[in-house]
Amino acid sequence: MQSVEHIVEIDSLIKQYPVGGGLRAKQVLRAVDGVSLSIRKGETLGLVGESGCGKSTTGQLAARLIPLTSGEIKFKGRDITQLGGRESKAVRREIQYVFQDPYTSLNPRHTLGTLLEEPLVIHGIGERRERKYRVHEMLERIGLNSAYSAHYAHELSGGQRQRIGIARALMLEPEFLILDEPVSALDVSVQSQILNLLKDLQSQYDLTYLFISHDLNVVHYMSDRVAVMYLGKVVELTDVDTLYASPLHPYTQALISAIPTGTGEVKRERIILQGELPNPLEIQGGCSFQSRCPYAYDRCSREVPALTPGGEGHLVRCHLHS
């Protein structure tokens, strides 16, 4: 992997949270545990896994919304991990975040025009007339009439609110967007509209996406490559078609088996995981998936598997393939 091909490079990212204290013994929760990812310019990397696996935390770290414990984040070949002041502000123009809930991420006291203009004001871009023009232009590009600039968030439907959330992220003309469950709070009938809008905007603005979701059908539609996370670690990474056709990790195989098949498709055998999800504070060693894995053996309890090649461009964290 050469840096010139990748707009984002994340190396050994760790995020720890202290738990307990006082009368309780203090423990450490590793929400993100050594995640390494590279994203090519113009591609969509899907990030999937169960709730609590650390995928949203990974996205927030990549956007530098929260401080990391250790690791390195490079953007266009430059280490942005420790940037501050003006340098950090400049990078934030190029990396933007779209949140899951479009309502709570929009200030209900301001009109949509004010919300969209705010990023331009903060970064000192344009005069007032120019900013108003850019707001109206962006509203048209996301499929809303410019008259919506005088409306408030509570007057919109869920799909319209998410359009505004996307538009707000695009006002600074970023190169990299982190989309955190951008359609999970929407009705199914609206989801396809937002997904198609995101695809159109990606083509129009030459955007790179980190697409975070638990919905495997949505990830399949949106992504070029997919990384699967389990308890803070990436357990499998490959191109989207290979992952859905030939998953290697037992956890990924179980996820893929749960996807409903359409008319005329070959039905998959449903894999039901047995065992209990381990307490992330009590994982001592070995593979974190061992308590639920039907193929676990002695080595799985002794050694933490590394992320190793399981085929051309296919990485998997499993002793069965090491």
Residue 213 pLDDT: 96
The two tokens of residue 266 are 């070959």
pLDDT(264) > 80: no
| 18 strand-pairing partners | 28
pTM, two decimals, is 0.93
What is the total residue count of the chain?
Answer: 322
- Rounded Cα–Cα distance for residues 94 and 300 (Å): 42
Residue 85 pLDDT: 81
pLDDT band at 56; cut points 50, 70, 90: very high
**Which residue has 């995101």 as its token pair?**
198
Beta carbons within 10 angstroms of residue 223's beta carbon: 22
- Rounded Cα–Cα distance for residues 202 and 184 (Å): 20
pLDDT(307) > 90: yes
In the sheet that holds 6-21, the strands lie side by side as 24-40, 6-21, 70-75, 78-79
pLDDT(226) > 90: yes
To the nearest 10°, the Cα dihedral for 298, 301, 304, 305? 40
Pairing state between β 44-48 and 208-212: parallel
Give the residue-averaged pLDDT of 276-294: 86
Residue 22 pLDDT: 64
- Rounded Cα–Cα distance for residues 140 and 62 (Å): 30
- Rounded Cα–Cα distance for residues 139 and 94 (Å): 20
The two tokens of residue 205 are 């603005």
Q: Which domains does the chain have, with CATH numbers?
A: 3-108+152-321 (3.40.50.300)
pLDDT band at 263; cut points 50, 70, 90: low
More confident residue, 322 or 284: 322
pLDDT band at 1; cut points 50, 70, 90: very low
| 31 strand-pairing partners | none
Check if the beta carbon of residue 307 is closer than 8 Å to that of residue 317.
yes
**Which residue has 């919506």 as its token pair?**
148
pLDDT(171) > 70: yes
- Rounded Cα–Cα distance for residues 69 and 301 (Å): 26
- Rounded Cα–Cα distance for residues 107 and 113 (Å): 12
Beta carbons within 10 angstroms of residue 41's beta carbon: 15
Give the residue-averaged pLDDT of 162-166: 95
108-152 pLDDT tens trace: 999 999 999 999 999 999 999 999 999 999 999 999 999 999 999
First to last CA, the chain: 21
pLDDT(11) > 90: yes
Residue 5 pLDDT: 82
- Rounded Cα–Cα distance for residues 85 and 64 (Å): 13
DSSP string, 116-130: HHHHHHHTT-S-HHH
Best CA proximity match to 122, nearest among 162, 88, 149:
88
Check if the beta carbon of residue 234 is closer than 8 Å to that of residue 56.
no
pLDDT band at 62; cut points 50, 70, 90: very high
Beta carbons within 10 angstroms of residue 160's beta carbon: 19
| Contacts (Cβ under 8 Å, ≥6 apart) of 263 | none
Check if the beta carbon of residue 167 is closer than 8 Å to that of residue 138.
yes
Beta carbons within 10 angstroms of residue 306's beta carbon: 11
